[in-house]
Chains A and B, each alone.
Chain A
Amino acid sequence: MQDLELIGGLLSVVGAVFLLLAAIGIIRMPDVYNRMQAGTKATTLGSILFLLGIGLANPDWLGKILLLVLFIVFTNPISSHVLARAAHHRGIPLAEGSVRDCLSDDEAGEEGGCE
């Protein structure tokens, strides 16, 4: 019992570190697309670890916490995708050093190796 709580606490600390890294990525990345991928992937992993840590420390709540984790896993990539599309439609330029813009190529009808 005590061991499970300790494992949960360590898992929560690791998840919180991932959340902090996501926030640092949001503030330090050069353009909106990089910020979006830093802020979505790292936040999803961090919140999954954090919530699972709390669920391990308190196993009565594990069902609800798993439901919450499932919800985050489903919705977070969708909102990121919609936002990226909106930013591209708005015409925000890519950062310097970006190699390729596949969505523009697709809309222009070019044949390319984007698949």
Chain B
Amino acid sequence: MANQLFYIATAIALLAVVVAFLRLLKGPDPTDRVVALDGMTITSISIITAAAFFLGRVIYIDVAMVYALVSFLGVVAIARFIERGL
């Protein structure tokens, strides 16, 4: 029962990534695309943690942490470039 709930949650998060990706393809300005990238990465961290739960390997959570750190640095670098040219 509980496992099915986690499968449903992962499917909903997957749908959320797809919906946010549409804004990345559509957004009129690069800033919209960075917002979509930010939302996609935070949702993807949840999906990675769910995968760690399904596959039963704790090291995937470390990968999720590196992923969060790198995506944060990337977003800050792009925003700084937009604001005053890196």
Contact = CB atoms under 8 A, between A and B. Distances in A.
Contact of A43 (B8, B26, B39): B39
A16 B12 contact: yes
A26 interface: yes
Given A5-B2, A50-B9, A71-B69, A36 B79 contact: no
Contact of A26 (B3, B36, B68): B36
Contacts of A79: 38, 72, 75-76, 79
A27 B2 contact: no
A54 B49 contact: yes
A47 B54 CA distance: 17
B54 to A, nearest CB: 10
Interface residues of A, number: 54
A89 interface: yes
Given A12-B5, A79-B72, A61 B79 contact: no
A2 B1 CA distance: 9
Interface string A35-70: 110011001101100110110011011001101100
Interface in B1-60: 1-6, 8-10, 12-13, 15-17, 19-20, 22-23, 26, 29, 31-32, 34-36, 38-39, 42-43, 45-46, 49-50, 52-53, 58
B35 A89 contact: no
Nearest to B36: A26
Nearest to B19: A23
Contact of A57 (B2, B31, B32, B62): B2
A44 B49 contact: no
Given A26-B23, A50-B46, A79-B79, A68 B68 contact: yes
Nearest to B40: A23
Given A20-B16, A90-B31, 6 more contacts: A13-B9, A36-B35, A39-B20, A54-B6, A72-B42, A83-B35
